[in-house]
Structure 1
Amino acid sequence: MRVPPFVILAKWVLCTFCEDLSNELAKHNFGKVPPMTENWMDPVVEPQSTGEGKSDTIWLEIVTTDQNKRSLSELAARIVSEICAPWVLNIGFFLILGGVTGAWTLGIVAAIGTGIVPMILILGLMKLGRVGNHHVTTRNQRGLVFVGIIVCVIILIFILRALEAPQLIWDGMFSALIFLVLFAQVTLKIKASVHVGLWVCLVMFLGLTVSSWWLLGLLFTPVTAWARMRIKHHTMSEIVAGVVTGAVATGICYALLLA
């Protein structure tokens, strides 16, 4: 039986993504047992003797506990980074717009075009050696990615126009284009955090168009910022640049499309 092409593509995307994620985790020794103890989850058993041996054991327990806390902290940060990755946020955003407008099919089309397709592009560039990882953490590698995604969004806009998408999804697509162009320009100077910037932009968009309750999502912004800095993908200045750029993008979108 012949395997459908989309199944082959989905398998390739999943395998490539998981391979990159596992390689990134391996760099930080996740899944490996710390060398100081046989199993870091087992409690440290103190020796019966007192004196220097007991002091060494207490010191070892303190160091091991600190290592465990730092490992769990970094793992939590990586989980947040994956959940709040731009491609994931875009999928959720357009599915929400599709549900609000009752145009589920067009919402799914927009989610695929702004989430799945850009990730396929990035994974393809990884295979070609043009980008280092699926988060594209090197600034001078982001230009090509932005250009590719902008082209994808422009094509998607024409598709949605032909399908007569609802105004809210239409506004969301143009907002995505404005966001990409603005971030592409800012990235020429600084590696602004797209994770944080997109979170701010999408939450504010939903708060202005769907329900003001969505604005409470801005309270999660520091968590995303912490995660990006915790795994050393961004500095504080890059986080601030992302927040400001995301807010500016929302302001431009509101002035041009929503006001």
Structure 2
Amino acid sequence: MDGDLATRDDPAVRPGPGRRLARIVTELTAPAVLVSLLSVMIGWHSARGRYSGLAWGLLAAVFVSLIPLAYIVGGVRRGRLTDHHVRLREQRRIPLLFGLGSVAAGLALLAVLGAPRPVLALVAAGLVGLVVAVTVSHWWKMSIHSAVAVGALVVLVVTFGGHLLVATPLLALVGWARVRLGDHTPIQVLAGGALGGLVAAVVFPLLR
């Protein structure tokens, strides 16, 4: 172990009600789930509620979320990856690079087809975020759950208004779940959230 996973003797990772809740939170706030929902919401909003916006959001979700997730699930089934959250840092590089390629292809396709600027801005922010994740994961295992959760909240606040900051406590719940399961340390959660939020705060408003 290189500090990526907590030891089995750590009380934080022992079975119990808290661990079951942490597992539920982790699954509900998985990057693929949040990114898919966010893509649809931004697409719908960018077209003022018209179904064309929903179509743009779904197309973005295919490249940003569903294709990378399908690759990871395939890797798990073939025994190349431990699980769909890719807990081991040394296994993360290839899935992240594949995801980077998928997002880049999706961004190019969306641009050619004339997708709304907010959708393009969202996908571009995801692309930059993946570049950061690939770079950091070469040495260290930051929390991608936290990065996506904070980034998603930033995008929602920029799009729909500051009143959505009331959801900020949910970010702490996401971080707690990752630590409770022993998948990350507190500093890995904080670093992931800070980087995810920074990328979203810079790239999305700039391009939308």
1:87 to 29, 32, 41: 32
CA distance in 1, matches of 2:121, 2:181: 34
CA contact (8 A) 2:42 2:119 kept: yes
Number of aligned residues: 191
Aligned-residue CA RMSD (Å) = 1.9
2:117 to 146, 167, 173: 167
2:198 to 248, 251, 257: 248
1:77 corresponds to 2:17: no
CA contact (8 A) 1:98 1:105 kept: yes
CA distance in 2, matches of 1:117, 1:254: 22
CA distance in 1, matches of 2:30, 2:204: 24
CA distance in 2, matches of 1:256, 1:146: 24
1:1-259 matches, cutoff 5 A: 71-102=16-47, 103-254=53-204, 256-257=206-207
TM-score by length of 2: 0.86
CA deviation vs aligned residue, 1:130-161 (integer Å, no higher than 9, x gap) = 21100000001110011000000011012111
CA deviation vs aligned residue, 1:161-193 (integer Å, no higher than 9, x gap) = 122100110100100101110111111221000
Residue 11 of structure 2: aligned partner: none
Residue 256 of structure 1 and its aligned partner are, at CA, apart by 4.2
CA distance in 1, matches of 2:125, 2:132: 10
Residue 67 of structure 1: aligned partner: none
Residue 255 of structure 1 and its aligned partner are, at CA, apart by 6.9
TM-score by length of 1: 0.69
CA contact (8 A) 1:178 1:249 kept: yes
Residue 249 of structure 1 and its aligned partner are, at CA, apart by 1.4
CA distance in 2, matches of 1:238, 1:154: 26
Percent identity of paired positions between Structure 1 and Structure 2? 27
CA contact (8 A) 2:121 2:204 kept: no
User: Greater CA radius of gyration, 1 or 2?
Assistant: 1
CA distance in 2, matches of 1:221, 1:159: 32
Segment drifting more, 249-258 vs 175-184: 249-258
Counterpart amino acid of 1:86? P
CA contact (8 A) 2:117 2:207 kept: no
Segment drifting more, 213-222 vs 175-184: 213-222
CA contact (8 A) 1:183 1:245 kept: no
Q: Secondary structure at the match of 1:214?
A: helix
Counterpart amino acid of 1:228? R
